[in-house]
């Protein structure tokens, strides 16, 4: 037993050092404007890849837009992607205003797709409201991220 004791102590010390550097040395949070621009880029890629789960990862659980909640949005997006091909989205560089744990992004958006023929929906100016949310990865590691809470200026009939 005495021969194993140094190895046990060394193992415990390694675990403690690892926990110290992972839990207490989190990377500094990104600038909110940078993160929101990143969400726009990742959302565009997810839309064009028809990746509903990734799109919904940017949406808050209490999302609301013209009576559409997160669960209904998931259903509508899955149905839309099943019935169209080659979905594309274009947007202008958003104007982002940050107010503490809330942010608003304004931009012009054009959504394109093909079904029987080329289709598109130009929304013009839309406004997307974000909220900073805190959580824990694996129930241990704290993190902060921005989630979409509301979208204004969109006609949702193109999803149907």
- The per-residue pLDDT for 65 is 84
How far is 59 from 39, CA to CA, in rounded Å? 10
Residue-by-residue pLDDT tens, the chain, 160 positions: 566 666 777 777 677 666 665 655 555 667 899 999 999 999 999 999 999 999 999 999 999 887 889 999 999 899 988 888 888 889 999 999 999 999 999 999 888 887 766 666 666 788 999 999 887 766 666 778 899 999 988 765 555 5
Asked if the 30-159 domain carries CATH number 3.40.50.150, the reply is no
- The per-residue pLDDT for 1 is 55
91-129 residues labelled b (16+ CB within 10 A) or e (exposed): beebebebeeeebbbebebebbbeeeeeeebebeebebb
- The per-residue pLDDT for 103 is 95
- The per-residue pLDDT for 27 is 57
Per-residue DSSP letter, 140? T
Return the domain boundaries, the chain: 30-159
- The per-residue pLDDT for 113 is 82
- The per-residue pLDDT for 11 is 74
- The per-residue pLDDT for 123 is 67
- The per-residue pLDDT for 68 is 85
Q: Which of 71, 98, 91, 99 is nearest to 153 (CA)?
A: 91
- pTM, whole model, 2 decimals? 0.76
């Amino acid at each position: 037993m005495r021969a194993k004791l140094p190895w046990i102590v060394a193992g415990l010390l390694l675990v403690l050092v690892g926990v110290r550097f992972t839990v207490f040395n989190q990377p500094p949070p990104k600038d909110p404007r940078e993160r929101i621009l990143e969400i726009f880029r990742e959302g565009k890629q997810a839309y064009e890849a028809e990746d509903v789960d990734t799109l919904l990862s940017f949406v808050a659980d209490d999302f609301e837009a013209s009576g559409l909640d997160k669960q209904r949005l998931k259903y509508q997006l899955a149905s839309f992607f099943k019935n169209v091909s080659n979905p594309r989205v274009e947007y202008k560089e958003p104007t982002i205003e940050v107010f503490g744990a809330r942010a608003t992004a304004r931009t012009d958006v054009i959504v394109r797709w093909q079904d029987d023929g080329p289709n598109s929906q130009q929304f013009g100016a839309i406004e997307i409201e974000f909220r900073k949310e805190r959580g824990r990865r694996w129930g241990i590691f704290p993190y902060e991220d921005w989630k979409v809470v509301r979208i204004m200026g969109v006609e949702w009939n193109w999803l149907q």
